[in-house]
């Protein structure tokens, strides 16, 4: 599809306002995790936690988040993005505020578990909303924006939390983030809706996004048993799911442990380690949008086959991703940061493509469920195993080296599934007789 053949709507483009709103949701969804990661040394001291126990604080959130991925996909496909996200944002905002007032390990574990449950809808909701609001030739950029928002949360959230802890304490940091969540919950509640019901959208824009391949919000919902059987027995679903997990393991390891890595390995103070951590995430945010979004869409518009573009960028990105391994083999913190920046830049270019592939192979009516399967595996291996295993390894070995090597192995497995198991990127077919 060439640029000349596409007839874009004139005037206001509501879909990009929706994209900005989805980015805000993801940033807030990750603010909480960023706060835990940055505040980890303070939490360890305040609650008398070992590295294994702070790893459990990380992973217990991800247990709940991961367990909710499969049911949340069905809920989003059945009830829509609006109400599921509104309820989730409201409750997770309150839970974040409550963390500022607790004492005792049990309460900390409990609140993290509940926050994980209520945060679970964010990525599947953003993926489904993007499929409803954007045609294929814009979806790469739209997906890259909300995916890169997760990285960008570290750029602004990490230093913000570090400053609040330095000048006040960790409780103030969680209170401030919780109040920010409340503000954006109100904004989302008032502004988000589906294209056909949105008060700000023009008929011209509705026709445009539907003409060029955006999903309809009125598509049929299929029987859950039939959907799960069809998806879990699909080679394509397994290809994108394990492929995406190759990225997600390294991403989650660095998301949760990078501030502690810099602090422990190079004897840095909290503020310095947080500022150093922000640099790789800024580079990752830019790369995700520039390569995984803009470049991919531009190549497809110029006539290159989407399959070749997707797999080409994934291969180059994941191979570049192995650069992060160099961080554990240098005594120079700046050089370590450079290695991590290169690795994060490489894998971040692949993440938006993973969401696009999941959307593209998904049959109408099952888009959120396909995305939730991908996110389930991503968080099972990355969010749970990477978080807990890294804490245990650090306790036993006193080093992050083995954890980084394991992440590199998982990355290699992901590359294999993307390139050899996925096959052609085509939409799966459902039988009309299986509709609810």
The confidence score (pLDDT) of residue 134 equals 83
Distances (CA, A) of 193 to 1, 47, 196, 367: 29, 42, 8, 17
Furthest-apart CA atoms within the chain: distance in Å: 63
CA–CA distance, 126 with 128 (Å, rounded to integer): 6
Q: Which of 286, 11, 35 minimizes the C-alpha distance to 161?
A: 35
Burial (0-12, 13-18, 19+ Cβ within 10 Å), 272: middle
pLDDT tens column, 132-177: 888 877 777 887 887 788 788 878 887 888 888 888 888 998 899 8
The DSSP secondary-structure symbol of 215 reads: P
Specify the pLDDT at position 225. 66
For position 413, what pLDDT does the model report? 93
**pLDDT the model gives residue 335:** 92
Return the pLDDT at 219.
53
Residues 6+ apart with CB under 8 A from 253: 382, 386, 387, 390, 403, 404, 407
Distance between CA 326 and CA 337 in Å, rounded?
9
Q: Residue 215: what pLDDT?
A: 55
Specify the pLDDT at position 409.
Answer: 94
- 15 Cβ neighbours under 8 A, 6+ residues apart: 133, 134, 138, 142, 195, 201, 205, 209
- 28: enclosing H helix or E strand: helix 14-47
The angle at the Cα of 183, spanning 275 to 282, to the nearest 5 degrees, equals 25
pLDDT value at residue 338: 92
Q: What is the pLDDT of residue 15?
A: 83
Written as tens digits, the pLDDT of the chain (436 aa) is 445 555 666 666 888 888 888 888 888 888 887 888 788 888 888 888 887 788 788 778 888 888 887 788 778 877 888 888 888 889 989 998 998 888 888 888 899 899 988 888 887 888 888 888 888 777 778 878 877 887 888 788 878 888 888 888 889 988 998 999 899 889 888 888 887 788 888 878 788 777 766 555 555 555 556 677 777 778 888 998 999 889 889 888 887 788 788 887 887 776 777 777 788 888 988 888 888 888 888 888 788 888 888 999 999 999 999 999 999 898 888 899 999 999 999 998 998 888 888 878 877 666 667 777 887 887 788 767 887 788 888 888 888 899 999 999 999 999 999 988 888 887 777 665 555 4
**Residue 135 has what pLDDT?**
81
Q: Which two tokens stand for residue 140?
A: 């790469």
> Which pLDDT belongs to residue 365?
66
What pLDDT is stored for residue 24 in this prediction?
Answer: 87
Which residue reads 């049929």 in tokens? Answer: 220
Distance between CA atoms of residues 218 and 202, nearest Å: 18
Backbone angles phi, psi at 130, to 5 degrees: -65, -40
- Please report which residue ranges of 214-332 form alpha helices under DSSP H: 224-232, 235-266, 270-289, 296-301, 306-321
Place of tokens 């991403």: 251
CB 71 within 8 A of CB 368: no
What confidence score (pLDDT) does residue 10 get?
63
CA distances from 324 to 287, 341, 347, 379 (A): 15, 7, 10, 20
Residues 409, 125: Cα–Cα separation, whole Å: 30
């Amino acid at each position: 599809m060439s640029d000349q053949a596409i007839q874009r709507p004139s005037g206001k483009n509501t879909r990009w306002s929706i994209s900005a709103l989805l980015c805000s949701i993801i940033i807030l969804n990750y603010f909480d995790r960023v706060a835990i990661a940055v505040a980890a040394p303070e939490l360890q001291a305040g609650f008398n936690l070992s590295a294994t126990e702070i790893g459990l604080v990380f992973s217990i959130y991800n247990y709940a988040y991961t367990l909710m991925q499969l049911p949340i996909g069905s809920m989003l496909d059945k009830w829509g993005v609006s109400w599921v996200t509104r309820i989730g944002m409201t409750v997770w905002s309150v839970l974040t505020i409550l963390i500022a007032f607790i004492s005792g390990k049990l309460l900390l574990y409990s609140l993290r578990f509940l926050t994980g449950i209520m945060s679970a809808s964010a990525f599947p909701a953003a993926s489904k909303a993007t499929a409803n609001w954007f045609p294929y030739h814009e979806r790469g950029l739209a997906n890259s924006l909300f995916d890169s928002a997760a990285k960008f949360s570290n750029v602004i959230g990490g230093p913000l939390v570090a400053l609040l802890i330095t000048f006040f304490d960790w409780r103030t940091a969680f209170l401030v983030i919780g109040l920010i969540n409340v503000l954006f919950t109100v904004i989302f509640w008032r502004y988000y809706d589906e294209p056909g019901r949105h008060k700000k959208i023009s008929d011209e824009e509705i026709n445009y996004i539907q003409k060029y391949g955006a999903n309809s919000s009125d598509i049929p919902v299929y029987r859950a048993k039939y959907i799960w059987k069809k998806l879990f027995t699909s080679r394509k679903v397994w290809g994108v799911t394990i492929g995406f997990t190759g990225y997600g393991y390294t991403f989650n390891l660095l998301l949760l442990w990078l501030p502690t890595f810099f602090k422990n390995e190079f004897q840095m103070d909290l503020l310095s380690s947080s500022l150093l951590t922000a640099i790789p995430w800024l580079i990752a945010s830019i790369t995700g949008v520039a390569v995984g979004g803009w470049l991919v869409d531009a190549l497809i518009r110029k006539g290159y086959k989407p399959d070749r573009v997707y797999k080409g960028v994934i291969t180059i990105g994941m191979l570049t991703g192995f650069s992060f391994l160099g961080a554990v083999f240098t005594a120079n913190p700046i050089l370590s940061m450079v290695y991590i920046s290169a690795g994060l830049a490489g894998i971040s270019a692949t993440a938006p493509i993973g969401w696009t592939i999941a959307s593209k192979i998904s049959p109408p009516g099952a888009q959120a469920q396909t995305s939730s399967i991908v996110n389930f595996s991503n968080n099972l291996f990355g969010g749970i195993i990477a978080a807990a295993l890294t804490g245990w390894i650090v306790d036993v070995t006193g080093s992050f080296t083995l954890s980084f090597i394991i992440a590199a192995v998982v990355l290699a497995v992901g590359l294999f599934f993307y390139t050899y198991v996925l096959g052609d990127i085509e939409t799966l077919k459902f039988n009309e007789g299986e509709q609810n």
